[in-house]
Structure 1
Amino acid sequence: MDDTTRNTVLEAWMKEHGYSSNAFAEAVNLASERLTGHAGGHDGASVRDWKSGRVRWPKTATRRALEDVTGLPATALGFVPRGRTPSVPALLQKDSDSMKRRSLVGGIALAAAAPAALRAASGRRIGMSDIDRLYKRFAEIIARDHQHGGQLVVEQQAAALADAALNLQNAGGATQRVRSGLYAAAAAFRSSAMWAAIDGRRYDDAKLHMREAQSLAELSGDQAIKFRIWSHAGTMYRHVGRAVDALAANDVACNLHITRRDPLFACLGHARQAASLGLARDTAGVQRALGRAQDAWERADRSLVRPVWMTAVLDGAELETLAVAAHLRLGNFEKAEMHAHRSLALLHPRMRRDRALNTVRLAAAQLGQGDIEPAVATAMKVPSDIAGRHARVAPMLQGFGTALRATAADSSGARDWAEHTATWSIAV
């Protein structure tokens, strides 16, 4: 594609307003949903098509959404109606003087566009309905995480939605309550990006998302999202074997006043602390933390409305899952097996990633007790699409195979496992 056909006006507008291609796509999708009742299907590739000139005149619904986001008519964004030729390329020549003229024309277009954008922004009110639409997208991100977990695309989508929520801050007037809500939504999306990176074992990326999420949470003042971020930080440090840092991060989460206001948050905080204490080989601490978590869970008011990511805590599945992790670390295989069976009974079918993880943990607990055949049969229940690809499940299964060979290399179970795993490749 010749550079003279690029939509440099749109590119410049996005750069000036801090939009990446993915974030701009999400903003347009949100506008489409607001205008038509149906979310748009655009992504970063769609925006790159607009910028490159491959799509010179988007469809009517898309143009309306673009105009809603920017406050400018499509033609002022550099789009060209069908049947017309762009006026700017006609001015362009291939010498250096023409390059200067092209820059001048672009600058004039932007200068003319800026007052219109400001007028449009000042006339629009951002309200709670905008935040409600953001949280609808947040629920979709949570559902994708439960289904797949750890995928880079989920991390990227969540990060783009965080940027879209932040860009709404500059889209028009809003009350302080709404502005706090936008920061909270941005922090929620960024915390999901953080979690997807943790689950995918992309820990350097997770730390970057964590720092951004923490800043946004402070701006929002939202206790629930602060809890989620610090609790995820504890999990991240536990996954990399840093028990002291994990305990410290969990302490921050547990000391937030939301844990005193709502026992269900206290339950999750204590349960995650138990998993970290298991990493530290603190048997008494694990028992104490799990006892506190169980007590808090029993005291929790089931009728309260809570964030969508708390669902597994409400039904008890997350408490059982973290108890499995804690007891496995301590080598309490009988207790780990008991909690694993409970967790699998409580987990919703859509939570495929958690079900796979706890199935591997159940197999490890059975193997730890010397039950070779049941352990192998359990491990074989992990779906192959998760077994060979998920960044946490695959190494756990590899560890199971290593322990199986060390325990009973000549058993029929070990032979069955070798034959089973030959059909798919375990990613490490």
Structure 2
Amino acid sequence: MDAIRNTVLEAWMTEHGYSSNSLADAVNGAVADLTGRIGGLDGSSVRAWKAGRVTWPKSATRKALEAVTGLPAVALGFVPRGRSSSLTPAPPRQKEPDMKRRTLVGGIAAAAAAAAAAPGSASPRRIGMSDVNRLNKRFAEIIASDHRHGGQLRIEAQAAALAEEALNLQNAGSATQRVRNSLYASGAAFRSSAMWAAIDGRRYDVAKAHMREAQALAEMSGDQAIKFRIWSHAGTMYRHMGRPADAIAANDVARNLHITRRDPLFASLGLARQGAIHGTAQHRTETRRAFEQAQDAMQRANPADHRPVWLLAFYDQAELDSLALSAYLALGDYPTAEYHAHRCLASRRPHMVRSRAITTTRLAHALLAQGAADAATAAAIKVPADAATRHARVSRMLQEFGAALRATAPHSTAARNWTDHTTTWRTAA
């Protein structure tokens, strides 16, 4: 029997800008993250998927592909071995030279339809707010896991899978418009968490793919809070990528949403993140002004107002000080950076394990830049080994700290202590 072309995978690749070779490279990298050994795919492997000659990739490859795309394999048009496809291949579309007819929202709908049509999916039923509430409980678990571990591929994959679960419910039965909007909002929330995990793990290409999916779902939900979260994350992503102009533009989208006029706490977060971006761009006056305005907005916020769990879980005075620490460190104003680091650590909530590690590492940098090598090393040694070796951002900052310490005080006791300390990480790994 002739192979049935995988038009769903082709559509996903077109909308996300992947060629056969670039998708093979991305999956090979994800295989390395999962197994420790880089995958052996090339462009011909992906072309075999698209042509339908391979309908169910091997386990490690399949998991890596799901990590890259954020979608389960069945939602990408693949069919488990031993099962016949329940999907009818789409007829070829006529191409238009001036515009793409397919949109991101259309791609999401196609993926959801594929997953809903997959063998074993539930029969149609009434979808209600109890289904939404069940998803929201899982969202709280994702938030808690992120604050403890951060940046991990498994958090990203779990969040992406839950986003797909929320989307598949749209096709699993009848629902009111309120429920449908809430499901889209849940899907956007999960997808934005996958985006954040990828940002935190410095997997920026994957983060951008999650961002596009999240933005489309957020538009369909009409939820201002989740729109704010996604665009604010985008601003942070571009800041970490060293693209301050794009970061300011993305963060401005978040700050111009009317939710920032209704709720000063949203306004405060938008301003604080804007201040961090200005610090990266070396805008001293704008940095100071943004943090003054962020502090003022936070003081005007009513603690009793209802707010989403993701905001309440992390944004407080400690986070404002953390963003100020990042900004003033980038500006080279090390005493001010140190001041905000101590304030942040004094009020950090216990569940913010990942954030405490980042703050402590930045404090070490601020101290070393002021010539306090012993104090800086003592601070850096306090970073837990798990964060130091497994969190991409923390690992990179500590490597930079070690290089700076060896450059400024190569024969000091502090440098020897730091070398001995990092050796224990390698032997324990």
TM-score between the two structures when normalised by the length of structure 2: 0.71
What amino acid maps onto 2:128 in structure 1?
A: G
CA distance in 2, matches of 1:397, 1:313: 23
**Where in structure 1 are there 5+ consecutive unaligned residues?**
1-14, 16-50, 52-77, 79-88, 90-101, 108-113
What amino acid maps onto 1:399 in structure 2?
A: E
CA RMSD of aligned residues (A): 2.8
Q: Which residue of 1 aligns with 2:226?
A: 225
Preserved CA contact (<8 Å) 2:364 2:377: yes
SS at match of 1:364: helix
Shift of 1:384: 0.8
Distance 1:105 1:215, change over 3 A: closer
Q: Which residue of 2 aligns with 1:407?
A: 408
CA distance in 1, matches of 2:204, 2:402: 25
What amino acid maps onto 2:153 in structure 1?
A: L
Preserved CA contact (<8 Å) 1:166 1:186: yes
Q: Which residue of 2 aligns with 1:193?
A: 194
CA distance in 1, matches of 2:309, 2:378: 33
What amino acid maps onto 2:140 in structure 1?
A: A
Q: Which residue of 1 aligns with 2:244?
A: 243
CA distance in 1, matches of 2:227, 2:252: 12
SS at match of 1:392: helix
Preserved CA contact (<8 Å) 1:264 1:300: yes
CA distance in 2, matches of 1:257, 1:304: 16
CA distance in 1, matches of 2:426, 2:240: 23
Preserved CA contact (<8 Å) 1:320 1:343: yes
Distance 1:173 1:424, change over 3 A: same
Cα offsets for 1:277-315 (capped at 9, x unmatched): 001000001001001100100000100121122125553
CA distance in 2, matches of 1:406, 1:391: 23
Distance 1:404 1:130, change over 3 A: same
Shift of 1:264: 0.3
Q: Which residue of 1 aligns with 2:419?
A: 418
Q: Which residue of 1 aligns with 2:387?
A: 386
Matched, 1:294 2:295: yes
Q: Which residue of 1 aligns with 2:319?
A: 318
> How does 1:97-112 map onto structure 2 within 5 Å?
none
SS at match of 1:423: helix
SS at match of 1:170: coil
SS at match of 2:139: helix
Distance 1:293 1:214, change over 3 A: same
Shift of 1:105: 12
CA distance in 1, matches of 2:342, 2:131: 42
What amino acid maps onto 1:315 in structure 2?
A: D
Shift of 1:231: 0.5
Report runs of 4+ in structure 1 exceeding 6 Å deviation: 102-107
Cα offsets for 1:48-75 (capped at 9, x unmatched): xxx9xxxxxxxxxxxxxxxxxxxxxxxx
CA distance in 2, matches of 1:357, 1:119: 44
What amino acid maps onto 1:298 in structure 2?
A: Q
Cα offsets for 1:25-82 (capped at 9, x unmatched): xxxxxxxxxxxxxxxxxxxxxxxxxx9xxxxxxxxxxxxxxxxxxxxxxxxxx9xxxx
> How does 1:25-40 map onto structure 2 within 5 Å?
none
Cα offsets for 1:134-190 (capped at 9, x unmatched): 110000000110010011010000000000000111111111111100000000000
CA distance in 2, matches of 1:410, 1:140: 46
Preserved CA contact (<8 Å) 2:264 2:297: yes
Q: Which residue of 1 aligns with 2:216?
A: 215
Q: Which residue of 1 aligns with 2:60?
A: none
Preserved CA contact (<8 Å) 2:215 2:227: yes
Shift of 1:371: 1.1
Shift of 1:316: 1.4
What amino acid maps onto 1:213 in structure 2?
A: A
Shift of 1:423: 1.4
Q: Which residue of 1 aligns with 2:359?
A: 358
Preserved CA contact (<8 Å) 2:122 2:172: no
CA distance in 2, matches of 1:339, 1:315: 13
CA distance in 2, matches of 1:140, 1:407: 43
CA distance in 1, matches of 2:131, 2:359: 37
Q: Which residue of 2 aligns with 1:140?
A: 141
CA distance in 1, matches of 2:290, 2:237: 19
Shift of 1:425: 3.9
What amino acid maps onto 1:409 in structure 2?
A: P
What amino acid maps onto 1:304 in structure 2?
A: D
Q: Which residue of 1 aligns with 2:131?
A: 130
CA distance in 1, matches of 2:194, 2:183: 17
CA distance in 1, matches of 2:426, 2:268: 38
| Count of residues paired in the alignment | 323
Preserved CA contact (<8 Å) 1:312 1:347: no
Q: Which residue of 1 aligns with 2:274?
A: 273
Shift of 1:201: 0.7
Q: Which residue of 2 aligns with 1:333?
A: 334
CA distance in 2, matches of 1:106, 1:221: 31
Which has the higher Rg, Structure 1 or Structure 2?
A: 1
Indicate the larger mover: 413-422 or 305-314. Answer: 305-314
> How does 1:36-185 map onto structure 2 within 5 Å?
120-121=123-124, 124-185=125-186
CA distance in 1, matches of 2:251, 2:85: 55
SS at match of 2:170: helix
Shift of 1:329: 0.4
Q: What is the identity percentage for the equivalent residue pairs of Structure 1 and Structure 2?
A: 65
Indicate the larger mover: 125-134 or 135-144. Answer: 125-134
TM-score between the two structures when normalised by the length of structure 1: 0.71
CA distance in 2, matches of 1:353, 1:133: 26
SS at match of 1:251: helix
CA distance in 2, matches of 1:283, 1:345: 26
Distance 1:283 1:132, change over 3 A: same
CA distance in 2, matches of 1:139, 1:145: 10
Matched, 1:204 2:205: yes
